[in-house]
Chains A and B, each alone.
Chain A
């Protein structure tokens, strides 16, 4: 079955770059997503990458995909206090069913 894993916690200083890592097991994944969850809120889509790409950049966000190793990362440049949240990676294989990782809590220190 599918399995998506992330580290639980990341602490970073304001202005530094954050890198959140994710590994997955389903080689038939078509799309991989990063969602952000702020306290008391639902999940908000941040960015996504198609499985035949290896990089996607969107303003401060850079997604890297190593399909061979089934490794996905999200880099946030110039991390701000508003970036403190839980970040989930998710993979989509067949249909519209997503499998989520356990979430990485990012704490940005001033």
Chain B
């Protein structure tokens, strides 16, 4: 079974703090993604990575950056947290080339509150 692990379930940070959200997957997946989930808006893609040290902007990258130094780990960084970044953050991974179906496997999410 694929396991995607997010290091924290709940985080509370202050405005202006630098925040790191960590995600690790154990299936040697090339592709990793960070989404945020807000009520009524579904999941919106922040950043994704197709390989180590590679990153691509998603739909809402402003205020975020990412790091992919190792294949299994994909970090989301909030350089200076703001209250509008209070949200549920979901990490996902997948591997291309596995036939026609390469679904995303999700972690359990990190609920971040910025006060």
Interface residues of A (CB under 8 A from B): 4, 6, 8, 31, 33, 35, 40-45, 48, 50, 88, 90, 96-98, 100-103
Residues in B neighbouring A4, C-beta threshold 8 A: 42
Determine, out of B13-21, B63-71, B72-80, B97-105, the stretch whose residues face the partner at the interface. Answer: B97-105
Interface residues of A, dominant DSSP: strand
Q: Which of B17-69 contact A (CB under 8 A)?
A: 31, 35, 40-45, 48, 58
Interface residues of B (CB under 8 A from A): 4, 31, 35, 40-45, 48, 58, 90, 92, 94, 96, 100-109
Cα–Cα, bound, A54→B89 (Å): 33
Verify A42–B90 contact, CB threshold 8 A. yes
Which of B42, B94, B100, B105 interacts with A100 by CB under 8 Å?
B42
Q: List 27 A-B contacts (CB under 8 A).
A: A4-B42, A6-B42, A8-B40, A42-B4, A42-B106, A42-B107, A42-B108, A42-B109, A43-B43, A43-B90, A43-B92, A43-B104, A44-B106, A45-B104, A45-B105, A48-B103, A50-B100, A88-B43, A96-B94, A96-B104, A97-B48, A97-B58, A98-B45, A100-B35, A100-B44, A101-B42, A102-B41
Cα–Cα, bound, A6→B39 (Å): 13
Residues in A neighbouring B100, C-beta threshold 8 A: 31, 50
CB proximity of B10 to chain A, nearest CB, Å? 10
CB proximity of B34 to chain A, nearest CB, Å? 12
